Chains A and B, each alone.
Chain A
Amino acid sequence: MENLFNLFIRNVFTENMVFAYFLGMCSFLAVSKTVKTSVGLGIAVVFVITVTVPVNWLLENYLLKAGALSWLGPAFEGVDLSFLSFLLFIAVIAAIVQLIEMVIEKTAPALYNALGIFLPLIAVNCAVLGAALFMQEREYGTIAEATVYGFGAGFGWALAIVVLAAIREKLKYSNVPVPLRGLGLAFILTGLLAIAFMGFSGIKI
């Protein structure tokens, strides 16, 4: 079992969901206008990924992968249901996001309005499904590893969006050419941040 702390740090920096794997870009670019909404979306995404990865880990290990069903009886040892993983993972994610949408609508209506269409879009945020698929590919041995991985991936995404929002807020007072302001600049900034994060790629922990 790997060192859990190393696992967390690695997924926040070296293998950052946004800057290394470029997952979850749409909501990342569209919601990063202010730090306040970015923190809100970031927390929602951290919550979704931290909950869905361990749940999907349980599904993967007790239902989906080759030999997973052997707890039912020796007759099921050869069963390999991994072709269903795509469908099952996304169903779990969709259900949990629908739950969170209902909770946010009741408890923080201002945040609900600010996030708009991007809240249901967390369900198809490639970062969430990507985290589940990476968990499956890397075959984490224990649920603790899977949970720490999920928390690290979500935290990395949240960190990325808050960093971009902070830079964009500061740049509002700069003399940027008018057609480039806003979205165009966000794309260029993300590209530059990605190049910067490439610097982490040699670190092995």
Chain B
Amino acid sequence: MKNLKLLINPLNNENPITVQVLGICSALAVTVQMKPAIVMALSVTVVTAFSNLIISMGRNTIPPRIRIIVQLVVVAFLVIVVDQLLKAYVYDVSKKLSVFVGLIITNCILMGRLEAFAMNNKPWESFLDGIGNGAGYGLILIALSTFRELLGSGSLMGYQLIPESVYQLGYKDNGMMILPPMALITVGLIIWIQRSYNTKLIEK
């Protein structure tokens, strides 16, 4: 079914981060720990899906010369709503994410999907495309943050996994994992693994 493909493709074949090269900046910044990464992934999914829906409904009426401004206003409005919801229901995580919720407005995934899909497709398909791309983004974010939190702080979701005894033996947390350069290298490795299995993605 064609609509199912819209949901499944962005998880692997058209992953926003590893194939379309969108949404990199936030992937580096929020994946130091797992909890903010999951909240960020959910926020981006919601905003992408609904902004795709709204812009797709208006796609025949928006004048081409001002389309970027209209898209940005719609996205900014949705981000403000999501920001307020986060502040109300998960305040501690919202503090950790701080500026990056606002920066969802400039997250290339949103603009990228709006320009590439929502401007030319029907509302329901655009909504599904938004959910699919958000899910693909979330998948990579969870993989990255698991790696970085485990190796960089010895914990996952805030629960200390590496016991005190291992630290006594001389094991030290990998401090580089907390810095962005290692996130870049880790994404490179994820791409390597992905393309080894999915050889269609290898560039000629």
- Which of A's residues lie within 8 Å of B, judged by CB? 22-27, 29-30, 86-87, 90-91, 94-95, 97-98, 117, 120-121, 123-126, 129, 177-188, 190-192, 194-195, 198
Contact = CB atoms under 8 A, between A and B. Distances in A.
A113 B16 CA distance: 21
A192 B181 contact: yes
A200 B17 CA distance: 29
B166 interface: no
Interface string B101-125: 0110111101110011000000000
A29 B180 CA distance: 15
Contacts of B72: 90-91, 94, 123-124
B21 A26 contact: yes
Contacts of A27: 108
Given A22-B28, A29-B21, A98-B66, A129 B188 contact: no
Contacts of B39: none
A34 to B, nearest CB: 13
Given A124-B108, A179-B192, 7 more contacts: A26-B25, A86-B76, A87-B73, A94-B68, A182-B203, A188-B188, A192-B181
15 contacts: A22-B28, A26-B112, A121-B108, A125-B108, A126-B103, A179-B191, A179-B199, A180-B192, A181-B202, A183-B21, A183-B203, A184-B189, A186-B188, A187-B184, A194-B180
A157 to B, nearest CB: 13
Contacts of A187: 184-185, 187-188, 191
- Chain A contact residues, majority secondary structure: helix
Contacts of B23: 26
Given A25-B28, A86-B102, A179 B115 contact: no
A90 B105 contact: yes
A117 B181 contact: no
A191 B181 contact: yes
B25 A179 contact: no
B69 A95 contact: yes
B139 interface: no
Nearest to A95: B69
Contacts of A87: 73, 76
Contacts of B135: none
Contacts of B196: 179
Contacts of B66: 98
Interface in B56-113: 65-66, 68-69, 72-73, 76, 102-103, 105-108, 110-112
A170 to B, nearest CB: 17
B143 to A, nearest CB: 14
